[in-house]
Amino acid sequence: CGVRLFKATWNTANGRYDWRSPFLLTVSKRISARGLMEPWLATLADGTLYLDMRGSSSEWTPGRHWYSVSKDKGENWSPVADLRYNTGEQFYSPSTFAKTIRSTRTGKLYWVGNIASEPPKGNWPRRPLVLAEFDEAQVAIRKSTVTVIDDYDPEGDASPYVQFSNFSLVEHSETQALEVYLTRYGEAGTLQEKTYWQSDAFKYVIMLD
């Protein structure tokens, strides 16, 4: 898998967009066994385009999260690199997507995704789900701000394979709180049971300082 970037220019004469694809992002299977997937685009404070991408572990590389940036409005992109903490440290991430959102309350950009405590194998473990401030100058996650939204509860969840990976992220237009909507697959059964897919949908409300 690779991520192809498209740009469009409005064609007044034809009343439609003219599309072109100036760039394709790929990595070796030594870096990500399944390539790059589920891209998420954000604009940084200085106008840089930031592209966040899901990868997958390989025989040679543990699970990471990947990114590329463009300084010229998407014409050219930097070599794909692993997303790190602002301290320069690497972190593990399973093969799941992440999302960013800029808060109108604080003006800051936030990253929401899965950061694993151990090297993941493919998609697992899809936990915990965390929120962190994004360091736009360094293009990194501020390590000191990483906050767990939810994680596996051995006393309440039926399976350690409970997922915190498929979610929606929005900002409430009135309260300016961040809202995460997520179905906790695996809370009611193991991977071998039909009940694994039977779960309630949860709403998480995050008030930012």
Q: What percent of the chain has pLDDT over 70?
A: 100
C-alpha 154/C-alpha 166 separation (Å) is 21
pLDDT band at 104 (very low <50, low <70, confident <90, very high): very high
Those residues with Cβ within 8 angstroms of residue 122's Cβ, 6 or more apart along the chain or in another chain: 33, 56, 57, 63, 94, 95
If phi > 0 it is left, if psi is from -120 to 50 it is alpha, else beta; for residue 45 that is alpha
Cβ neighbour number for residue 181 with a 10 Å cutoff:
13
Question: How is the beta sheet containing 37-43 ordered, strand by strand?
Answer: 37-43, 49-54, 65-70, 81-82
Average pLDDT, the chain: 96
Cross-strand bridge partners of residue 133: 110
Those residues with Cβ within 8 angstroms of residue 116's Cβ, 6 or more apart along the chain or in another chain: 63, 91, 92, 93, 94, 125, 127
Structure tokens at 104: 């109108």
DSSP-derived 3-state class of residue 197 = helix
The closest alpha carbon to 38, from 53, 21, 51, 26, belongs to: 53
For 135, list phi and psi in degrees, rounded to 5: -85, 105
Q: Model's pTM, two decimal places?
A: 0.95
pLDDT value at position 1? 86
pLDDT value at position 193? 95
The closest alpha carbon to 77, from 55, 54, 46, 51, belongs to: 51
Summarised one tens digit per residue, pLDDT across range 77-98 is: 999 999 999 999 999 999 999 9
What DSSP assignment string belongs to 64-100?
-EEEEEESSTTSS-PPPEE-BBTTS-B-B--S---EE
Summarised one tens digit per residue, pLDDT across range 128-184 is: 999 999 999 999 999 999 999 999 999 999 999 999 999 999 999 999 999 999 999
